[in-house]
Amino acid sequence: MDLKGLVDKAKAALRGNPSLIDKGGDAIDKATGGKYASQVDKAQDAARKAVGAPDAPKPADAPKPADAPKPADPNTSGEQPK
């Protein structure tokens, strides 16, 4: 089998089981302690696009950091400033 045939076979396997792309990215995140998580996410998206796999499901209604409630300041008594 030539290289093109091998690449086509790998694309077909990833199209049939796109969770392998996620598992590979998760393994990289674990190995690097998540240091390159945004780059890994971009690579996963590119891999899905290259093989024609469906997009990964997005976390449902996960709060964004700006929307997350702010913790109370432990240095105050809980009263509002006047």
pTM of this prediction? 0.59
Q: What is the pLDDT of residues 10-31, one digit of tens each?
A: 888 888 888 899 999 999 999 9
Q: What is the pLDDT of residue 16?
A: 87
CB neighbours (10 Å) of residue 50? Answer: 12
Q: What is the pLDDT of residue 31?
A: 96
**Rg of the chain over all Cα atoms, to the nearest angstrom:** 21
Q: Are 53 and 18 in contact (CB under 8 A)?
A: yes
Domain ranges for the chain: 3-51
Give Cβ neighbours of residue 29 (< 8 Å, ≥ 6 apart): 36, 37, 40
Q: Which has the higher per-residue pLDDT, 74 or 52?
A: 52
Mean pLDDT across 39-46: 94
% of residues, the chain, pLDDT over 70: 67
- For 56-76, b/e burial (b = at least 16 CB within 10 A) is eeeeeeeeeeeeeeeeeeeee
Average pLDDT along the chain: 80
Mean pLDDT across 30-58: 89
